[in-house]
Amino acid sequence: MSPIPFEVCIDTVESALAAEAGGASRVELCSALGEGGLTPSLGLMQVVRSRIGIPIAAMVRPRAGDFCYSDDEFEVMQRDLLALKEHGANMIVLGLLMPDGTIDADRTRVLIELARPLPVTFHRAFDMAKDARASLETLIQLRCERVLTSGQEKSVLEGLDLLVDLVRQAGDRILVVPGGGITERNLPRILRECSPKEFHVSASGTRDSRMEFRNSRIPMGRTLAASEYFVSVADSGRVRRFRSLAD
C-alpha cells in the first residue's frame, strides 16, 4: 500500500521546519492555533514559503468565533486569499456557514473561483453545519476538493461512525479528511475503520521560553491561557511517528 499523505497544522516558522523534518506531506499554515486557526500574516506566509519545500495549505479565516461572516469580513477573506495565493500558497482552506447552519454556497463559490487553479479545503466549519450529509453534497456540487472534519464531534474518535458514513458517501467525488484529536495511539484504529485517503494532525508539543527574566504576574492574553513562557510548536518526533504509522 502507498503511504497515506497527512498535513500538520502550524502557526510558526519553527513548526513548519519541524513538520517538514518529520516527514509531513504538507502544512496547513495559520495564525493563532489557540483560536482554532486564523489567516496567517503575509510575512509568515512569505518566510515559511522560503524555508520549506513541501506544499502549504493556507488558512483564510478572518476572526475567531463562528463562521457566519459580514460583508466586510467577506471582503477581507477575498483580499487575504488573493494575497496568500500570490505569495506561494499551494492550497486554500476556508469555511463559511449561513445563519441556519447550511453551507454559505454563494460566497464559498466566489472564494473557490478566486482560488483557482489551487485546490480548496472546506475546514471544520463543516462540523458546525446542521446536516453533515447534505452539506457534503453541497461541497461536492461546489467542486471543493477536500473537507476537513472530526465527524461533527469533539474528536475524530468520537465522530468515527459519521466519518465512516461520510467517506462512503463521498466516494471519489471529494476527499473526506479526518482531523481533530488524532494521536499516535488512535490513528491505527482511525485508518483501519475509516480508510481515509489523507488525515490532518497538530503533532504539537511545547518548548520552554528563551526568556531568562520572567514576570509571571501579567498574562498577555486571556487569564486562563497558557503561560507566555511555554511555546507551542510542532514536534518533529511526533510527526515522524505519524509518518511511520501512515506508511
For residue range 14-65, what is the model confidence (pLDDT) as tens digits? 999 999 999 999 999 999 998 999 999 999 999 999 999 999 999 999 999 9
Give the pLDDT confidence score for residue 221 in this predicted structure.
Answer: 66
Residue 141 lies in a domain: yes
Q: Residue 206 — very low, low, confident or very high, per pLDDT cuts 50/70/90? A: confident
d(CA 208, CA 203) in angstroms, rounded, equals 17
Residue 1 lies in a domain: no
Give the pLDDT confidence score for residue 42 in this predicted structure.
Answer: 97
d(CA 81, CA 74) in angstroms, rounded, equals 11
Residue 151 lies in a domain: yes
Cell 474528536 found at: 155
d(CA 178, CA 39) in angstroms, rounded, equals 21
Supply the CATH number for residue 32's domain.
3.20.20.380
d(CA 239, CA 79) in angstroms, rounded, equals 32
Nine cell digits for residue 35: 483560536
Give the pLDDT confidence score for residue 101 in this predicted structure.
Answer: 96
Average per-residue pLDDT for the chain:
94
- Domain coverage including residue 92: 6-246
> Residue 150 phi/psi, 5° resolution?
-100, 15
d(CA 1, CA 232) in angstroms, rounded, equals 34
User: How many structural domains comprise the chain?
Assistant: 1
pLDDT greater than 90 at residue 222? no
Give the pLDDT confidence score for residue 208 in this predicted structure.
Answer: 79
Q: Residue 211 — very low, low, confident or very high, per pLDDT cuts 50/70/90? A: confident
Residue-wise pLDDT for 137-165, tens only, equals: 999 999 999 999 999 999 999 999 999 99
Residue 57 lies in a domain: yes
Residue 52 lies in a domain: yes
